[in-house]
A and B are shown apart, each in its own frame.
Chain A
């Protein structure tokens, strides 16, 4: 595609020589004090990548320890601290803010033809709250850490001598950041859509982010109050969850999972949005079942609020409750399956271009089906009693959180890298890394399914000798996984510095975010486009990459 073709047909996309959002002001202050959603997105991207790196290091160290049963490499307390840190960092500092904070901030206004999010200052505040929360939590980790696991179950979390308090407060502040991000997106989608962009023309990524935002706004405050109560309990002995004082620790579990189960959909819905966008671009086909994909996002957001009890099947919940929560949990599978079938339907008879993002789409589809099916199995009460708190559960949620969410994060990173930075990366190395990651991921977590099924409990320092072979296999896989990420880090840094300048729409995509220049100018559009078609409409007669708007 030649650039001239695009600029002629676009609603005033400026020529590439003009200032873009990266070159428009290069002082530190111009970043620290920015109101630009794109810069906030880039800062979020940098921050969550650091968090991902840290969390990954913790995970690799844990896997190294598990090469041998019993004392090896670290003592039991360090091990407990380390898996807590791994969980806290990966969930609160990486997975929850990753796609909405980085790509949502960058892409949503571009996709809906807006100049910014509804509340730019609040958006920047949300980033600083993220940094503050991260700083408090990391301070706690350095000064003693916590050994409760990321779930902070009471009464252990209110009595352990480790530093739970700063980590709880960090989580509380991070929750605020997440709420503000979600609130901003909901208002942005409601009030700043370009003329002609009605709800049924909205890009599917925006639908995913919209569903996510609803969960962020409605579920996060409950986590906030829950961790606050535990914090008060720790320093003032209020005893709300302390059985010695008439408190009910199971109430804590209910309140915690009321947020933390929907939180899984905070991590997965944006990922699904990314897949919905990229699968169209690389299959060169209109989304199959647009309406079903869009509305199933809301379906997952809604049903996700009524499934939390499946974490309490063995916590003394009544059989009736367990059955009800089990059934409701399975409904999520229906909405997810609707999406999976539609994505595969989009690929069917498409002109597939097997690029790096597409490799991650394939990985994503496999992982979400495998992870989703094991989830259905776990929602069955009788099976869950066998698998509860074993490595089976660990493998299951890693299939969803790493398998699905991280694959989509990587797909987004590669797909939008040219959009965000105007540079191209090495496609060959991209595919090598993708292959390593998908292989390594399987090698890490498939043995964990087996371990769990044989009865190895999660979070244990010690294990019987006959589990060693599978543990070694899992550690070997995690090393592959680590190498894959390392390769990505290297070629993306090289691409940032020395990568070839890409054209405005290198994938020839018909997603609306490509209406603006790559990288976009600070104000996004000289003139707000009027949308006259669906996103990803490949049936038109324009050359690839040209998006017809009036």
Chain B
């Protein structure tokens, strides 16, 4: 079944034997990715539900505790992530206009932004540890003593922790895509793989865009 792949001049192994055309395969990959993103959103949905329930239960503690987060670092991280979403989109643009080196460069930039995000997050975490603003039974933060503040930090650590795991997962995906881009796999004829990685990275960004106001602003 590789005759179509040959005709298109695609590298080997891109068109799987059981798909009748590359178009069909791209369609399948996109649908699969969107479904996967739906499962990711539902994974976070459990935590968002928990947040809603406990915010309703402890409104004062949540307001108070949220004011004690470092809003400067939170905002900085939001800017970093949104910019990284732009750079990953740019890398897809370069790949589909046959500029693989520029595409690879954009991926490197995205990875650096991701590292910066993790770095800033680590600084924030260190601050929390220092102040004993920790979840559940470890909570001993002097500044906020309203009942329910510990629950805020429980949710804060669960949500940002799970998001952090996704940043790391996204970084491994992007590194792998970087390697494949350098191999010359993506071009105007085929760039779906890169597009999928980009979609995943946008999701990581999007989750943060919800976490930021919930944890830092309101």
Nearest to A190 among chain B residues (CB) is: B31
Assess the A220–B50 pair: CB atoms within 8 A.
no
B6-50 Cβ-contact flags toward A at 8 Å (1 or 0): 000000000011111000100110011001101110111111011
A239 CA to B137 CA, complexed, in Å: 7
Known contacts A186-B31, A251-B53; A238 and B136 CB within 8 A of each other = yes
In the complex, the answer to whether A115 meets B31 with C-beta atoms within 8 Å is: no
Interface centre among A120, A122, A233, A240 (most CB of B within 10 A): A240
Which of B43, B46, B150: most chain A CB closer than 10 A?
Answer: B46
- Of B35, B53, B138, the most chain A CB neighbours within 10 A belong to B35
Q: Which one of B63-71, B93-101, B152-160, B168-176 is at the interface? A: B152-160
Q: Is the CB of B137 within 8 A of A245?
A: yes
Is B125 engaged at the interface, CB distance under 8 Å to the other chain?
A: no
Supply 17 further A-B pairs (C-beta < 8 A) apart from A183-B35, A240-B136.
A186-B31, A187-B31, A191-B28, A192-B24, A218-B38, A218-B39, A221-B40, A225-B44, A225-B46, A229-B158, A237-B136, A238-B136, A246-B150, A246-B151, A254-B49, A255-B46, A255-B49
With the chains together, A315 CA to B49 CA distance in Å?
19
Q: How far is the CA of A239 from the CA of B35 in the complex (A)?
A: 32
Q: Which A70-91 residues sit within 8 Å CB-CB of chain B? A: none
B42 and A218 contacting across the interface, CB-CB below 8 Å: yes
Q: Is A119 touching B53 in the complex (CB atoms < 8 A)? A: no
Residues of A near B148 (CB, < 8 A) are: 246
Residue on B with the closest CB to A248? B53
Given contacts A120-B18, A191-B27, A238-B136, contact A222 B32 (CB under 8 A): no
User: Which A residues, 236 to 280, have Cβ-Cβ distances below 8 Å to chain B?
Assistant: 236-240, 242, 245-248, 251, 254-255
Q: Is residue A232 within 8 Å, beta carbon to beta carbon, of the partner chain?
A: yes
User: In the complex, A236 Cα to B134 Cα: how many Å?
Assistant: 11
The closest CB in chain A to the CB of B46 belongs to: A225
List of A residues within 8 angstroms of B46 by Cβ: 221-222, 224-226, 229, 255
Q: Tell whether A238 pairs with B16 under 8 Å between CB atoms, given A191-B31, A246-B57, A255-B46.
A: no
Chain B residues with a Cβ under 8 A of chain A: 16-20, 24, 27-28, 31-32, 35-36, 38-40, 42-47, 49-50, 53-54, 57-58, 135-138, 147-148, 150-151, 154-155, 157-158, 162
B24 touches A251 (CB 8 A): no
Residue of A nearest to B31 (CB): A187
Find B158's partner among A119, A184, A190, A238 (CB 8 Å cutoff): A238
Q: Is the pair B35, A232 in contact by a Cβ cutoff of 8 Å? A: no
Contact status A115-B151, CB under 8 Å: no
A interface residue numbers (CB < 8 A to B)? 114-116, 118-120, 122, 179, 183-184, 186-188, 190-192, 217-222, 224-226, 229, 232-233, 236-240, 242, 245-248, 251, 254-255, 523, 528
Interface of A is mostly: helix
The distance in angstroms between the C-alpha atoms of A320 and B58, with both chains bound, is 24
For the complex of A and B, the 4 pairs showing the least CB-CB separation, nearest first, are A225-B46, A239-B136, A115-B18, A221-B42
B43 touches which of A191, A224, A248, A254 (Cβ 8 Å): A224
Smallest Cβ distance from A2 to chain B, in angstroms? Answer: 31
A246 touches B58 (CB 8 A): yes
A190 to B50, CA, bound (A): 34
Nearest residue (CB) in A for B41 is A221
CB-CB < 8 A to B40: which residues of A? Answer: 221
**Distance of A114 Cα from B1 Cα, bound (Å):** 13
By a CB distance below 8 angstroms, the chain B residues around A240 are 50, 136, 151, 154-155, 158
Which residue from chain B places its CB closest to the CB of A182 in the assembled complex?
B35
Structural contact, A183 and B39, CB atoms closer than 8 A: yes
B28 near A118: Cβ-Cβ < 8 Å? yes
Task: Report whether A222 and B151 are in contact in the complex, using a CB–CB cutoff of 8 Å.
Answer: no
**B71: shortest Cβ distance to chain A, in Å?**
24
A179 to B39, CA, bound (A): 8
Contacting residues, chain B, for A218 (C-beta < 8 A): 38-39, 42
In whole angstroms, how far apart are the Cα atoms of A524 and B120 in the complex?
53
B158-A232 in contact (CB<8A): yes
Query: Is the pair B42, A118 in contact by a Cβ cutoff of 8 Å?
Result: no
Do B151 and A118 touch across chains, with their CB atoms under 8 A apart? no
Considering the chains assembled together, what is the distance between the CA atoms of A237 and B50 in angstroms?
16
Kindly list chain B residues whose C-beta atoms are within 8 Å of the C-beta of A523.
Answer: 17
The 10 listed contacts between A and B (C-beta, < 8 Å) are A116-B17, A183-B36, A221-B39, A236-B135, A238-B154, A240-B155, A246-B147, A247-B151, A255-B49, A528-B20
Residue among A120, A191, A226, A237 with the highest chain B CB neighbour number at 10 A? A191
In this complex, what residue of B is CB-closest to A37? B18
Which A residue sits closest to B24, measured CB to CB?
A191
A18 to chain B minimum Cβ distance, whole angstroms, is: 18
Closest to B138 in A: A237
* A488 to B147 Cα, complex, angstroms: 60
Closest to A233 in B: B136
Residue on B nearest A232 in the bound complex, by CB? B158
CA distance A222 to B136 in the complex (A): 22
Q: Do A120 and B31 have beta carbons less than 8 Å apart? A: no
Contact yes or no, B28 A187, CB < 8 A:
yes
Q: Which residues of A contact B54 (CB under 8 A)?
A: 246, 248
User: Given A187-B32, A191-B28, A225-B47, A237 and B39 touching (CB < 8 A)?
Assistant: no
With A and B bound together, what is the CA distance between A255 and B27 in angstroms? 33
Tell me which residues across on chain A come within 8 A of B44, comparing CB atoms.
Answer: 225
Closest to B43 in A: A221
Min distance, Cβ A76 to any Cβ of chain B, angstroms: 29
